[in-house]
A and B are shown apart, each in its own frame.
Chain A
Amino acid sequence: MAILHIVNKSPYERNNLASCLRLAKAGAGVILIEDGVVAAADGGKFSGMIKDAMKDLKISVLGPDLDARGISRDKVIEGIDVVDYGGFVDLVAEYDCPQSWL
């Protein structure tokens, strides 16, 4: 059983991403949505944490939320998969159980 972790908060404001990564097991997926997408941009304080996590976890980010916030797709950390809402649905179907870090 693998979980799809959904993170919708900025790590600069709240601890949702940190808690998610603490409790995510190797093989799980993480999708960053809403304000959570800011963690996908390279060069920030949390980029190292994301890159570390990518060794064990597949990380995706919701493209429309990046675009809305003016985060250019070429700023996204290499290896993070940019998906649209359809891709989000596919991920929820692909993993066994979604978990939203609210």
Chain B
Amino acid sequence: MSTVKKFLFLNRKAPYGTIYALESLEVVLISAAFEQDVSMAFVDDGVYQLLKGQKTDGIGMKNFSPTYSALGDYDITRLYVEKESLEARGLTVDDLMDLKWEDEDDDWAEKDSIIVVSSAELADIMEQQEVILSF
């Protein structure tokens, strides 16, 4: 398939309370096989998906947060996090997992996958998309 489209997966829900975050991640991983231009955005309670230190033993559910660290290996290297959503929740980027990807065009340099953007910047990014799947 030669068509490359810009796909954005927009996440606005916290993990575990509903299945949206987990099943969104499953679609994102599958999308990697189609060699599209894929990025993710985390807005509102979606930012909680990226918090470090998730421990789910007590609720009897699988902790799927380690999967976000694997996204780089699938060439999904842009995870946009809305600054206003972080701030509204009293969070900073330091509260989020340290997600990296290796840039093969730059001597495999480790780069940050998480990109904190303002609402205005995210609005611009959204306008560039061809498919937005929201969860």
Interface residues of A (CB under 8 A from B): 1-3, 15, 19, 22-25, 28, 96-102
Residue of B nearest to A22 (CB): B119
A22 to B82, CA, bound (A): 11
Distance in Å from the Cβ of B74 to the closest Cβ of chain A? 23
A40 to B105, CA, bound (A): 50
Question: Contact mask B44-67 → A, CB, 8 Å, 1/0?
Answer: 100000000000000000000000
The answer to whether B127 and A100 have CB atoms under 8 Å apart is no
A1 to B43, CA, bound (A): 21
A2 to B124, CA, bound (A): 10
How many A-B pairs have beta carbons closer than 8 Å: the answer is 40
Distance in Å from the Cβ of B13 to the closest Cβ of chain A? 8
A41 to B133, CA, bound (A): 29
The answer to whether A23 and B134 have CB atoms under 8 Å apart is no
Residue of B nearest to A15 (CB): B44
Is B91 positioned at the interface, with any CB of A under 8 Å from its CB? no
A18 to B111, CA, bound (A): 33
**Chain A residues with CB under 8 A of B96:** none
The interface centre, meaning the residue of A23, A24, A96 with most chain B CB atoms within 10 A of its CB, is A23
A1 to B131, CA, bound (A): 12
Contact flag A1-B135 (CB < 8 Å), given A15-B44, A24-B123:
no
**Chain B residues with CB under 8 A of A100:** 134
A102 to B122, CA, bound (A): 17
**Chain A residues with CB under 8 A of B132:** 3, 97-99
A98 to B126, CA, bound (A): 10
Distance in Å from the Cβ of B135 to the closest Cβ of chain A? 7
Distance in Å from the Cβ of A6 to the closest Cβ of chain B? 9
**Chain A residues with CB under 8 A of B135:** 102
The answer to whether A1 and B12 have CB atoms under 8 Å apart is no
**Chain B residues with CB under 8 A of A24:** 123
Question: Contact mask B110-135 → A, CB, 8 Å, 1/0?
Answer: 00000000010011101111111011
Is B37 positioned at the interface, with any CB of A under 8 Å from its CB? no
